[in-house]
Structure 1
Amino acid sequence: MPKISRFFIKFGMLYLFIGVILFTLSEIPILQLNIPLLPIYWHMIALGWISQIIFGVSLWMFPKNKQTISKNGSRLSWISFISLNLGLVFRFCSEPFLLNNRELVFIPFIASIVLQVLGVFCFILEIWPRLSTSPRKQT
């Protein structure tokens, strides 16, 4: 399994764990905060957990070709990983405060969107050439 796949899968599991812990803590009445955390849980589950597991497994299961299998991953897949995770961190730090402190967190919020889209776009560019059909053996 390539190193990049392991990183995607490990970070995906980390987002699942953190998301479940935060959701559980937010349901305890004495720990209630006046900030909206529901969008954070959804991003942790959808982009943090599910998408990163899918990205990691697909990079592992669809290798470029037999001669150029890299144990570390390509530059494009690392850009995807870093920008997606950096965008998620910016999102987690800015979105809960968007309603009350719009001026303060607007730029990190926009940066999170741009970084997440860049991460998904780089993943698509990386995986698209791998989805070609393999030639069949003539019998």
Structure 2
Amino acid sequence: MPDHPHLVPRLRLKLGQDIALGPGKAQLLDAIAQGHSISAAAKSLGMSYRRAWLLVDTMNRCFKAPLVTTATGGRHGGGAQLSELGRQVLDLYQQYQQTVQACAELRALEQLLAPPTETNEQP
């Protein structure tokens, strides 16, 4: 058991009613960048292709240009990749997460938490 409890911020960026970017969408972007496929990314994250496609569609609509570009099948098959804007957005979001995680205010809030007990411990 850790000496002090740690808070884990979950940062979501909303544009109107849409979540333009959040932890799950950032994971999806990263998985697409690694596997060059929405299908493979969805599978690696344990989600359906339809769910992954809907998340990509929301992100693409929320930003000034698509974050993920796709190519239909053909002789070399289809695929997906992050656009230059997609790579920039993912990098900035990850930097934002690191900044918030390291901020002094979060550390100060952690010092105000009750000590861990069986009822508030996380698995």
> What TM bracket, shorter-length normalisation?
0.3 to 0.5
Relative to the length of structure 1, the TM-score reads 0.30
More helix, by proportion: 1
TM-score (norm 2): 0.33
